[in-house]
Structures are given as structure tokens and as C-alpha cells.
Amino acid sequence: MTPAPHRAYAGVPVWIAVVAALGAAFVLLPLVAMVSRVDWAEFVPLVTSESSVAAFWLSLRTSVTATLLCVVLGVPMAVVLARTGFRGQRVLRSLVLLPLVLPPVVGGIALLYTFGRRGLLGQAFDALGVTIAFSTTAVVLAQTFVALPFLVLSLEGALRTVGTRYEAVAATLGARPTTVLRRVTLPLVLPALVSGAVLSFARALGEFGATLTFAGSLQGVTRTLPLEIYLQRETDPDAAVALSLVLVLVAVVVVALAHRAGGPSGVATRRRGS
């Protein structure tokens, strides 16, 4: 085997590699164990049953909508957090990122008290004739709530990394703030935006606790893939395992996409955009 041409110094201690291998096995072994339980003869009928397909499409639809909402709300949030300084900004950042560490079921309860029938905003919505509880909207709200911090976090980090040099130059050349944002800032952090959006999508796809607490569970309306898996497990563990595998495959594809979009070369290659 010929050594790699540009190999940098890689003095990784042996014990680090051993522990790393242990960690990798810890993550991968359960997946292998799950795949080993899949009933392959029944796999296709199980994942193409009416309830499975309904859950799959509902999950895709709501996760895509939630991701779009995350981009619409998250980009301005990241820009404000990265490019401005005001009193209480650090506290605000911690609070905004709270859904990352909150158990989803707590998020569900919080959403219930906000958008529920007796909630803070729910009563106003009710007066307008809009009911959120038990609707697909509730699913999207729950998913957006838990997924938003992923986008804000990755985009804010990228914004700080690229710095304000190009933006300052653009501004001195007479570009208005909106033009700078559109023509300079966003193209610079596009890879981070894409990977952040992909991560948000993945988080929305896996959302379970908040949806169960806040939106309920009805086929085609609120019962997303994770909820369907949870329910199928009661009577048909084979179907639950088959659907879990589908979810794992989707997750693998999503992670691979995020990895490609957000690789370290991503930011560098986009620099020419200025």
C-alpha cells in the first residue's frame, strides 16, 4: 500500500483509536441488531401497507414544511445573533437554543399551553375559527419547534467563521444592507445553510415526543412515521422493525447529504462568490 501523497502528521495514540472503535461499535451494533431482526420475506408488504405509506408521506410532507419554516425564521435569527450585539443577547441565544436540550415531551406540553384550545394564543386562533389541536399544522409546529435550533446554531457558527470583511467591502462600495445580505453574506454561508436545513429536516423527521403530546395520533392527519412505529410495536413488532429500517435509511441519506454540503471544503470553495 502506497502512503497517501499529502498525508499530514497523524500522531493518533493507539488508545484513542481503540476507544474510538468502541464508540463506533456502540453506535453501529444496535443498528446491526435491528437489521438482523427484519423479516425480509414480509418487508415489502409491511412497509407498503396503507397505514405505513400514509405515515411515510405525512412525515415527508410535514418535515419539508417544517424545514422551510426553519429557514424562513432561522436565517434572520442567526444573522441577528451573529452580526449584532445588544444587552441580553447571550441569554437570548441560550433561550432560543433551549429546544435542543429540552425533552421533546416538555416541548409538547409548552406548545399545548401556547397553541392549545385553552392556550395563550390558542384562544385567539379559536376566535378566528382556526383550530390547531389535532391538525397537521400542530405536527408542523412541533417539528419546527424542535428543529429550529439546529439551523440557527450551524448558520450562526458559519457566519462568525466567515467574518465581516467582505460585507464591509461591499458596504463601502455602496451596497445597501439587504443587498449585502443577499449578494455577499448568504452566498458565503450557503453550504452551512444547506447542512443546517438538512439537519433540521432530519430532526423534524424523527420528532416524536412533542407530536405525541401536542398533536395526537390519527392516520393521515397527525400520525407520522415515528408515531406509527410506536403504535405498530404494540401488535406487530415485525412491522415496527421494518418501518424503523425505512426511517434509518432516510436518516442515513440525510446525514450523507449534510456531510457533503457542510464539509470543511464547502465554505472555502464558496469564497470566490465575493
Q: Note the residues at the interface with other proteins (CB under 8 A).
A: 13, 15, 19, 22, 112, 116-118, 133-134, 212-213, 215-219, 222-223, 227, 230-237
8 Å CB contact between 211 and 222: yes
Closer residue to other proteins in complex, CB, 75/227 = 227
Residue 63: other Cβ atoms inside 10 A: 27
Closer residue to other proteins in complex, CB, 105/181 = 105
Closer residue to other proteins in complex, CB, 142/212 = 212
8 Å CB contact between 187 and 61: no
Closer residue to other proteins in complex, CB, 189/215 = 215
* Nearest distance in Å: CB 215, other proteins: 8
8 Å CB contact between 240 and 39: no
| Coarse DSSP helix, strand, coil percentages of the chain, rounded to the nearest 5 percent | 75, 0, 25
* Nearest distance in Å: CB 254, other proteins: 25
* Nearest distance in Å: CB 10, other proteins: 16
CA 169 remoteness from chain centre: 34
* Nearest distance in Å: CB 19, other proteins: 6
d(CA 102, CA 104): 6
* Nearest distance in Å: CB 68, other proteins: 25
d(CA 127, CA 103): 31
* Nearest distance in Å: CB 162, other proteins: 35
Closer residue to other proteins in complex, CB, 238/267 = 238
Grid cell at residue 56: 411515510
d(CA 56, CA 226): 9
8 Å CB contact between 148 and 70: yes
* Nearest distance in Å: CB 213, other proteins: 7
Closer residue to other proteins in complex, CB, 181/218 = 218
Closer residue to other proteins in complex, CB, 115/201 = 115
Q: Provide the b/e sequence for 43-59 (b: ≥16 CB within 10 Å).
A: beebeebeebebbbebb
